[in-house]
Chains A and B, each alone.
Chain A
Amino acid sequence: MDLLRFATAGNVDDGKSTLIGRLLHDCRALPDDQLESLRRESQRRGEEGLNLAFATDGLRAERAQNITIDVAYRFFSTARRRFILADCPGHLGYLANMVTGLSTATLAVILVDVRHGLVEQTRRHCFLASLFRIPHLVLCVNKMDLVAFAEGAFAEVRDQFEAFSEKVAIHDVTVIPISAKLGDNVVQRSAAMRWYQGPSLLRHLEEVHIASDINQVDCRLPVQISLGPRTWAGRLASGHVRVGDEVMCLPGGARAVVAGLTVACREVAEARAPLSVAVQLDRDVEVRRGDMLVRVHNRPDLRCDVDAMVCWFGAEPLVAGRTLRLLHGTSQTRAAVGRLDYRLDMQTLARQTDPPALFPNDIGRIELQSDQPLCLDRYQDNRATGSFVLVDEASNRTVAACLVR
């Protein structure tokens, strides 16, 4: 059985929580005791029957305010696949959570209300999904029951979306008409929408092809720790490694041959991303935590000047000249912010060039100068080695997610 990680995003009233509740309920992932507390919660709020929206709110404050504050992870499986769902709050103030969910997802489900069509929020979510190179996007056109399941209403939203999606870089897009409240096209195909020929949401989640989503070409092994003489442990960020391969250790450049390879103590001849491995080299070469083992003829860029898209979550504005701690895989260095190239207006997605600063929850393009050279790939080629985070030097908190251009 394989594993699909996906994220959901939607406006406060688009029915996202109801959809997730429905998905969990119909996949029998809501046990009786949780159903019972949902029933009590629904009654307490004076609602008839079972409001599945309460299934996802985990924190006291979320239940009290009826909003999602933090990413919640939900787990369910079918006979075909295991799913990890990152449920992201939709509103802009919680951009960090949205980015958290998207960063590990290979599929994003975005919800719209069929009566409202594409709103600004939808455009922002689609833009983020494309910025983070989510390979698969699903647009659920919800509340079809409120437009009498009319094909015309759905087609209008679908056409709007298709016109818009040409501008964003997502190759695999699926649009599904649903009613989260009644369950139409969530798990079972809808009897009320015979005009729709495509799969239900769950069927699509089960069938979408994900095996080729991870980069299996470029061998990148960030070194975590030593496990003994000439033996180095790490998790393959991408690509694969075989016994007998000649590898190079960056940034030093020393070469060695892989003499032994283990995955969780099992000896293997070959291993691929995202497995955790231990590599035994055939000779003594200088290797340290933070180094990267790669193939001699397939290397990342070794550089100190970095051009990156940054999602900024610091408490204060980000300005040129600021220094931060940079974490990239297992390597750490200090970095200084150079030029601020542009800032994206998240309302209009327009670029504001040479902004004086990036404000919390801003996305922009910046230049950074690192103290130590970094082994970087472009994010569009490699989601694992093309990304890094920035940490505030005073508070030690992670304040930015960055994508290498």
Chain B
Amino acid sequence: MTALTHLDVLEAEAVYVLRETAAWFKHPALLFSGGKDSLCMVALALRAFRPGRLPFPFLHIDTGHNFPETLEFRDRLVAAIGEELLVRRVQETIDAGRARDEMGPKASRNVQQTITLLDTVRELGLDALIGGGRRDEEKARAKERIFSLRRDSGGWNPHQQQPEFWLQLNGVLRPGEHMRVFPLSNWTELDVWQYIGREKLDIPALYRAHRRRCLRTRAGILLAESPYLAVEEGETVEELSVRFRTVGDMTCSAAMESRAVFVEEIIREIEAARTSERGLRMDDRRSEAAMEDRKTEGYF
């Protein structure tokens, strides 16, 4: 037998976690954003449960600030595999008076997203949310469990986490609690891309180099020109060949200048990169503990 590669081992672990999720919980949902991690999650879910149907729907918390390409990709993927997609909109949370938009030129809906997410957990009676979060992304996420318990408020308490020994997952819940499940915990950005390459997965066009009008902030960050961003003094708009390393909202996902179109080129570019992927996220650049603080509020 040939030696197992790290991708074989990581795939086996993620498939195991997804199947445990199906066994432990009555109403799980797989959070789907249209980014590379969530499309990997979809591929892994198919590999865990086909030829049967998936034991959970996909759930997209739509901030209203998505790239149109992300939504197209989402709909195309869901149609191709014939599974259920639920969409809940941050705009509706705002319209219902349960959240308020940030003000100012670089306002984002990152915080508001958490309110919609937790409302949806209550509305649908969800007891597990599966996400594509990875420990290598960010230093607070490096402390996450694979089965990560959320109390009634939905917040993460990093100091009260139960230990996880071996790969023995404990999914026992009390009323009002739900679980966050992270099958990609031990994957890195590079693993995700290598897996996309190995499995020949379809990816949104945003990840490939393309011509785009971008706004260059005073800090030198490139953001896609969009109706959600006002150009401030000292900022310029220019058309460049760019691609996105992470795909979140148009307001917070920075573009990078690139000519990488094929997955192999993207992999080479990431191998040589001297910045981390979250370094290109405005939402994480707000403070040293930005991610920890948002997770404590219930963010993914």
Please give the residue numbers on chain A whose beta carbons come within 8 Å of chain B beta carbons, in ascending order.
Answer: 1-3, 31-34, 37, 41, 57-61, 63, 69-75, 77, 82, 84, 96-97, 99-100, 103-104, 211, 224-225, 227-228, 233-235, 240, 263-265, 270, 272, 274-276, 289, 313, 325, 327-330, 383-384, 387-389, 391, 396-398, 401
- B50 on the interface (CB 8 Å rule)? yes
A-B residue pairs in contact (CB < 8 Å), sample of 11: A59-B158, A59-B289, A73-B142, A74-B142, A75-B136, A75-B186, A104-B167, A264-B15, A276-B12, A389-B166, A389-B170
Q: Produce 1/0 per residue, B139-168, CB < 8 A to A.
A: 110110000000000000011011111111
Which segment, of B59-67, B118-126, B255-263, B269-277, faces chain A? B269-277
Q: Would A100 and B173 be within 8 Å (CB), given that A37-B288, A264-B11 are in contact? A: no
Residue from the list A34, A59, A391 in contact with B276, Cβ < 8 A: A34
Known pairs A73-B186, A99-B163, A276-B48. 17 more at Cβ < 8 A?
Answer: A33-B276, A63-B288, A70-B161, A71-B143, A72-B139, A72-B143, A73-B142, A77-B190, A84-B186, A224-B23, A227-B49, A235-B15, A265-B50, A276-B11, A276-B13, A389-B170, A401-B166
Task: Establish whether residues B51 and A228, one from each chain, have CB atoms under 8 Å apart when the complex forms.
Answer: yes
**Bound Cα distance A211, B208 (Å):** 37
**Bound Cα distance A325, B159 (Å):** 23
The closest CB in chain A to the CB of B166 belongs to A103
Give chain B residues whose Cβ lies under 8 Å from the Cβ of A225: 19, 22-23
- B297 on the interface (CB 8 Å rule)? no
Q: Tell which of B9, B162, B185 has the most Cβ of chain A within 10 Å.
A: B162
Give chain B residues whose Cβ lies under 8 Å from the Cβ of A97: 163
Task: Establish whether residues B170 and A391, one from each chain, have CB atoms under 8 Å apart when the complex forms.
Answer: yes
Residue from the list A57, A233, A270, A272 in contact with B19, Cβ < 8 A: A233
Task: Establish whether residues B165 and A100, one from each chain, have CB atoms under 8 Å apart when the complex forms.
Answer: yes
**Bound Cα distance A240, B288 (Å):** 46
Task: Establish whether residues A274 and B276, one from each chain, have CB atoms under 8 Å apart when the complex forms.
Answer: no
The closest CB in chain A to the CB of B14 belongs to A276
Q: Produce 1/0 per residue, B184-198, CB < 8 A to A.
A: 011010110000000
Task: Establish whether residues B23 and A275, one from each chain, have CB atoms under 8 Å apart when the complex forms.
Answer: no
Task: Establish whether residues B6 and A2, one from each chain, have CB atoms under 8 Å apart when the complex forms.
Answer: yes
Task: Establish whether residues A276 and B15, one from each chain, have CB atoms under 8 Å apart when the complex forms.
Answer: yes
Residue from the list A32, A58, A99 in contact with B165, Cβ < 8 A: A99
**Bound Cα distance A389, B4 (Å):** 28
The closest CB in chain B to the CB of A395 belongs to B174
Q: Which of B34-90 contact A (CB under 8 A)?
A: 44, 46-52
> What's the least CB distance linking B18 to chain A, in Å?
9
> What's the least CB distance linking B1 to chain A, in Å?
6
Q: Would A274 and B13 be within 8 Å (CB), given that A77-B190, A401-B165 are in contact? A: yes
> What's the least CB distance linking B20 to chain A, in Å?
6
Task: Establish whether residues B140 and A387, one from each chain, have CB atoms under 8 Å apart when the complex forms.
Answer: no
- B249 on the interface (CB 8 Å rule)? no
Task: Establish whether residues B166 and A384, one from each chain, have CB atoms under 8 Å apart when the complex forms.
Answer: yes
Give chain A residues whose Cβ lies under 8 Å from the Cβ of B135: 73, 75
Task: Establish whether residues A396 and B158, one from each chain, have CB atoms under 8 Å apart when the complex forms.
Answer: no
Task: Establish whether residues A270 and B1, one from each chain, have CB atoms under 8 Å apart when the complex forms.
Answer: yes
Q: Tell which of A63, A225, A401 has the most Cβ of chain B within 10 Å.
A: A225
**Bound Cα distance A98, B223 (Å):** 42
Give chain A residues whose Cβ lies under 8 Å from the Cβ of B167: 104, 235
Task: Establish whether residues A3 and B6, one from each chain, have CB atoms under 8 Å apart when the complex forms.
Answer: yes
The closest CB in chain A to the CB of B16 belongs to A235
Q: Would A32 and B275 be within 8 Å (CB), given that A2-B4, A59-B158, A225-B23 are in contact? A: yes
Closest 4 CB pairs of A and B: A58-B139, A33-B279, A264-B47, A3-B6
- B96 on the interface (CB 8 Å rule)? no
Give chain B residues whose Cβ lies under 8 Å from the Cβ of A272: 1, 4
- B95 on the interface (CB 8 Å rule)? no
Task: Establish whether residues B1 and A104, one from each chain, have CB atoms under 8 Å apart when the complex forms.
Answer: no
Give chain A residues whose Cβ lies under 8 Å from the Cβ of B19: 224-225, 233-234, 276
Task: Establish whether residues B6 and A82, one from each chain, have CB atoms under 8 Å apart when the complex forms.
Answer: yes
Q: Tell which of A69, A234, A330 has the most Cβ of chain B within 10 Å.
A: A330
**Bound Cα distance A41, B166 (Å):** 34
The closest CB in chain A to the CB of B50 belongs to A265
Q: Which of B102-116 contact A (CB under 8 A)?
A: none
